[in-house]
Amino acid sequence: MKRKPIFVLIPVALFFAVGGTVMLLWNWLIPVIFGLKAITYFQALGLFLLSRILLGSFGFGNKKPPFANPKIREKMMNMTDEERQQFKEEWKNRCQNK
């Protein structure tokens, strides 16, 4: 039970470290490339938090590919050649329509 605070502190420390990294990278690249202003540490934290909200999931959720599921993998392995070809064509059509 003594190790639990470490598991809470590590993600918090990483969050603040990433904020510093975002600030350093922004201030190094963005003003030179795009002519924008440099940002402060807290603006970098906010930018990082906003990007995680809009683009990421904070590392939670199922990140396994769909075929990692044993039931789906078994179904794929038991398909006939004709069923596999039909499956490939269906996914090809789905991907082209997007």
pLDDT value of residue 9: 86
pLDDT, tens digit, for every residue of 27-38?
999 999 999 999
Distance separating alpha carbons of residues 14 and 5, to the nearest angstrom: 14
Give 8-66 pLDDT, tens digit per residue: 888 889 889 999 999 999 999 999 999 999 999 999 999 999 988 888 766 655 566 66
Q: What is the mean pLDDT of residues 78-91?
A: 89
**Sequence spans of domains, the chain:** 1-62, 64-98
Residue 71 tokens, joined: 């039931």
DSSP 8-state code for residue 79: -
What is the pLDDT, as a whole number, of residue 63?
63
